[in-house]
Structure 1
Amino acid sequence: MSRGESPSPSPPPPPPPPPRREMELELELEMERERMDDDERPERAEPLSDAERDVVRDTWQRVYESCEDVGVSVLIRFFVNFPSAKQYFSQFQDMDDPEEMERSSQLRHHARRVMNAINTVVENLHDPEKVSSVLSLVGKAHAIKHKVEPMYFKILSGVMLEVLSEDFPEYFTAEVQLVWTKLMGAIYWHVTGAYTEVGWAQVSSSAV
């Protein structure tokens, strides 16, 4: 550079890469879309044994005593770790501060709905048809009305198990977590069945 010349402006810095978990989520969402398109869904959910149902009921009873606070903790971690999930909630879209989320009456209301839905499942584990009916309604509402990617149900299940194992370590031992993982897998199976039933691929593409 000759004397007197102005230095060339530096190129703008490249945008930061998306958070790793968000990148992983996008890959998982795409794989889930392909899986549903390829109709690779298992024939049936793996049923819980009588002993496993007793484990679920016993541990859930401890959790449900503080259902709203637990539900709020789950949703806050869900939205903080996977902020793209907030796109489906106009009330929470602009909330980034966990403390603000915790004070939100709308978030608390949704937390109660999530926990009450799981409570209905747990209370009716002896009645598979009732469980199927309840989760079918949940799945269809989220597919048709809210147009939520079904993969978010699996992610929310994982977040919930994380929170429960941390907040109730004396009850959610490794063995109990395996039983709950099995239950969450069954819930996801029923929900995705409802998505398939209403033709999720068509609903999803028409919403773009």
Structure 2
Amino acid sequence: MSRRESPPPPSPPPPPQLLGLRRGELECDDRPERTEPLSDAEREVIQDTWGHVYKNCEDVGVTVLIRFFVNFPSAKQYFSQFQDMEDPEEMERSSQLRHHARRVMNAINTVVENLHDPEKVSSVLALVGKAHAIKHKVEPMYFKILSGVMLEVLAEDFPEFFTAEVQMVWTKLMGAVYWHVTGAYTDVGWLQVSSSAV
């Protein structure tokens, strides 16, 4: 290359690892192994850091959903209200997307508030899983992807609270959430539901 030629543009960064799932890998794996229960110290870390996030829950939720839909547009097929939206600014203005963002954040808030009560957490996540399996017919791997996107956004938007150690604890929590949700899919016979819907 001569000195007058401009250097080639930098290559885009590699897609982020989202709880072990890379962009474009959309197959549904077997149910993951159950993670170790959270320790008292880990529960405290999650509740402390969540307090900072939840003060801005709607804005954080909207940011998470916009990134989720921009990076994984196939997920929009489950949302007739905004499946045709391409522009992130249009998504941000969507009252339906804001409503769903609040629901997602409130579900996580219920989990975080009840970390001391595993039965309550399990029942809340079973309801979420069953609704998404039976009513909405959402592929369970989207929960894994959404968890990874949420972890990215929290680390970027709250760097002073989401240190590497805190991110590890949150990854453990999101793994537990995914385990419970996929359990609900298994309980309702997801494979039969999804194959009969074809």
**TM-score with structure 2 setting the length:** 0.87
Change over 3 Å in CA distance of 1:97–1:153 after alignment to 2? same
Cα deviation for residue 207 of structure 1 reads: 1.3
Gaps of 5+ in 2: 1-13, 16-21
After superposition, the C-alpha distances for 1:27-86 in whole angstroms (9 at most, x for unaligned) are x33252xx25xxxx43x3321000000000000000000000000000000000000000
Give me the whole-angstrom Cα distance separating, in 2, the residues matched to 1:161 and 1:190: 18
SS of residue matched to 1:29: coil
User: What residue is the counterpart of 1:30 in the other structure?
Assistant: 27
**TM-score with structure 1 setting the length:** 0.83
2:75 pairs with 79, 85, 95, which one? 85
The one-letter code matched in structure 2 to 1:30 is E
Structure of greater relative contact order (alpha carbons < 8 Å, 6+ residues apart): 2
Give me the whole-angstrom Cα distance separating, in 2, the residues matched to 1:65 and 1:31: 34
Gaps of 5+ in 1: 1-19
**Residue 157 in 1 paired to residue 147 in 2?**
yes
1:67 pairs with 57, 61, 65, which one? 57
Give me the whole-angstrom Cα distance separating, in 1, the residues matched to 2:28 and 2:108: 26
Give me the whole-angstrom Cα distance separating, in 1, the residues matched to 2:28 and 2:42: 30
User: What residue is the counterpart of 2:11 in the other structure?
Assistant: none
User: What residue is the counterpart of 1:129 in the other structure?
Assistant: 119
> Does structure 2 retain, via aligned residues, the 8 Å contact 1:29–1:149?
no
Give me the whole-angstrom Cα distance separating, in 2, the residues matched to 1:137 and 1:74: 22
Give me the whole-angstrom Cα distance separating, in 2, the residues matched to 1:83 and 1:128: 34
**Residue 172 in 1 paired to residue 162 in 2?**
yes
Which has more helix, going by share of residues? 1
After superposing on structure 2, the runs of 4+ consecutive aligned residues of structure 1 that deviate more than 2 Å are 28-31
Give me the whole-angstrom Cα distance separating, in 2, the residues matched to 1:69 and 1:84: 23
User: What residue is the counterpart of 1:14 in the other structure?
Assistant: none
Give me the whole-angstrom Cα distance separating, in 1, the residues matched to 2:147 and 2:92: 20
Give me the whole-angstrom Cα distance separating, in 1, the residues matched to 2:122 and 2:184: 9
The one-letter code matched in structure 2 to 1:148 is V
User: What residue is the counterpart of 2:90 in the other structure?
Assistant: 100
Aligned residues: 179
Give me the whole-angstrom Cα distance separating, in 2, the residues matched to 1:73 and 1:25: 18
Cα deviation for residue 25 of structure 1 reads: 4.8
